[in-house]
Amino acid sequence: MKNVLASPKVAAAVGPYSQAIETGGLVFVSGQLPIDPATGELREGIEEQTKQSLTCISDILAEAGLTMKDVVKTTVLLQHMSDFGAMNAVYATFFEGAFPARVCFEVAALPKGALVEIEAIAAK
């Protein structure tokens, strides 16, 4: 059985997908673009965009009664690998104790011209 999760604090999906799916004790959070839900616009700069993407993930996880402490794996997509250090500095502030496993890729482009997109898997 799968349960569709969505947070009213997060901008609606920009395509035919769910914000997250809960199944088998895991929550799979779709890639979160750094869209400010109040304005529908992207935040400015890699630091603010990273913060917004991770805040979206946190808000979605809250719908399942989870926190960032429950994240076991993330995937980070960067438009420019030169933003890796700045993204990492913000990313580190969202986790306590053991960091989740992670992979980071540079990609040719992201939807809406975003500089970063982050997805996560959390365990109950």
Q: List the CATH number of the domain containing 30.
A: 3.30.1330.40
CB 117 within 8 A of CB 53: yes
* Model pTM score: 0.96
Q: Is the pLDDT of residue 71 over 90?
A: yes
Task: Provide the number of structural domains found in the chain.
Answer: 1
- The residue assigned the tokens 């992207």 is 42
Band of pLDDT at residue 12, cut at 50, 70 and 90? confident
Mean pLDDT of 4-30: 94
Query: Domain of 33?
Result: 3-123
56 is catalytic: no
Measured at the CA of 95, the angle between CA 23 and CA 100, to 5 degrees, comes to 50
Per the residue annotation, which of 104, 106, 108, 111 is the catalytic one? 104
